[in-house]
Amino acid sequence: MKTKTLFGLFPLVVGLPLAAHAKLNVVTTTPDFAAVAKAIGGDRVDVTALAKPTEDPHFVDAKPSLILKLNKADVLIEGRAELEIGWLPALLQGVRNPRIAIGAPSRVLASEVVELVEVPTTLDRSRGDVHAVGNPHFMIDPVNAVLVARRIADAFCSLDPAAAEAYRSNLKTFSDRLDAKLAEWQKLLAPFKGQRVVAYHNSWPYFARRFGLQIDLFLEPKPGLPPTPAHLADVMAKMKESEARVIIVQPYLNRRTAESVARNTGAVVVDVADFPGAVKGTEDDYVKFMDHLVVSLANALGQSSAKKP
């Protein structure tokens, strides 16, 4: 009789609770990692980004509610390379969660799988430079996004081997989709090869290299330091010399400073997002985010070239 009862219960016990508990609870620092994690994990993961898409990734508000999210995480994905040094270590001090300890398979340090650029030969934070160990904005390059996606797939496979085939298949879909789009994006920006674009903050070396643009003039004198009149005067002189007519600004930076530089140089200010979700319709989707960025920039460069005397 006992056996019969067990057999009777078995399908119910196995069928219901497993489906509900099998999801990996993934926390990422910024929304770009979240979008990639969703692409790889699909409906097998719940993903939360700690930073908002319109928030400066260097200066995220370390609210106590974020500690609660980290305490529940099965996986933590961060950029590292000091991108989050101003806020993540402070949050982690309040976290008691061995699953995401450094060295655990569930702690993904994305910058480990990409080649950082602008790595200084000596460490110098003395003047407030927030890129002291190299440029941490490597996700604004689709090729790096695929490298990070592969690392995330490895982590998911090791934590949830039963679904490894699905993670691998999602990785292939993501990678194929980006490959196809990359060719399209490169074609769109090809007419502007070598053109100089001015940026407020130096988030763009990986993007510039991938698409053949020159993004090497910044309104900030050093990453993380506010613009000064002397520095802006120097930038404006260089913009006039090189006929640079586009200034790109992220939503969390001071647009008015960019507008005043634009007025003095005949340039235009272009609002660009550096994270999925900052622009409506790009939520949780790295490809849509990158598509919006490339198309906005190509349109602005096209219009500014047409205006040239």
Task: Give the residues lining the site for Zn ion (CB under 5 A).
Answer: 223
Helix (H, G, I), strand (E, B) or coil at 10: helix
CB 130, min distance to Zn ion, A: 5
CB 105, min distance to Zn ion, A: 28
CB 258, min distance to Zn ion, A: 16
- What are the strands of the beta sheet with 196-199, ordered from one edge? 214-218, 196-199, 246-249, 268-271
Find out whether 53 and 276 touch, Cβ atoms under 8 Å.
yes
The DSSP element (H or E) to which 305 belongs, if any, is helix 286-307
Bridge-based pairing of strands 75-78 and 45-49 is unpaired
For Zn ion, give the closer residue by CB, 223 or 277: 223
Residue 246, φ and ψ in degrees, nearest 5: -130, 130
Q: Which amino acid is at 249?
A: V
Find out whether 64 and 94 touch, Cβ atoms under 8 Å.
yes
For Zn ion, give the closer residue by CB, 205 or 223: 223
Say how far apart CA 262 and CA 107 lie, in whole Å. 43
For Zn ion, give the closer residue by CB, 195 or 250: 250
Q: How many Cβ atoms sit within 10 Å of the Cβ of residue 210?
A: 17
Number of H helices, E strands in the chain: 10, 8
For Zn ion, give the closer residue by CB, 223 or 276: 223
For Zn ion, give the closer residue by CB, 175 or 202: 202
Say how far apart CA 25 and CA 44 lie, in whole Å. 9
Find out whether 174 and 39 touch, Cβ atoms under 8 Å.
yes
CB 35, min distance to Zn ion, A: 19
The DSSP element (H or E) to which 233 belongs, if any, is helix 229-242
For Zn ion, give the closer residue by CB, 41 or 223: 223
CB 224, min distance to Zn ion, A: 7
For Zn ion, give the closer residue by CB, 53 or 223: 223
CB 203, min distance to Zn ion, A: 6
Say how far apart CA 242 and CA 66 lie, in whole Å. 45
CB 131, min distance to Zn ion, A: 6
Question: What residue number has its CB nearest to Zn ion?
Answer: 223
For Zn ion, give the closer residue by CB, 74 or 220: 220
CB 135, min distance to Zn ion, A: 7
Helix (H, G, I), strand (E, B) or coil at 218: strand
